[in-house]
Amino acid sequence: MAENEKLETRAKASEQGKMKNKLERAKLESDLHNVKRLLDRIPADILEQARRKQNPHQRQPALRAIVP
């Protein structure tokens, strides 16, 4: 009988852990969705400027002369 109580206690703790993990995952997914929506609202030219500032030594594509 004591073993059954121990098993029940462990089962309840396990269920609580699963629920906590599900809630935490849902919160993280919601945060990720919100960040993606925010990034989608930033104009492309602003994002490009930010990328260039982060990698100032990154090689820029060479300009080619237009030959008729």
Residue found under tokens 């945060």: 31
Asked if residue 55 is part of any domain, the answer here is no
Q: Which two tokens stand for residue 26?
A: 């849902």
Comparison of pLDDT for 51 and 24, the residue scoring more:
24
Q: Which residues fall within 8 angstroms of residue 39, CB to CB, at 6 or more apart?
A: 47
Q: Kindly report the pTM of this predicted structure.
A: 0.55
11 falls in which pLDDT band (50, 70, 90)?
A: confident
Structural domain of 23: 2-48
Asked if residue 25 is part of any domain, the answer here is yes
Asked if residue 53 is part of any domain, the answer here is no
Cα 61 to the center of its chain, rounded Å: 30
Asked if residue 59 is part of any domain, the answer here is no
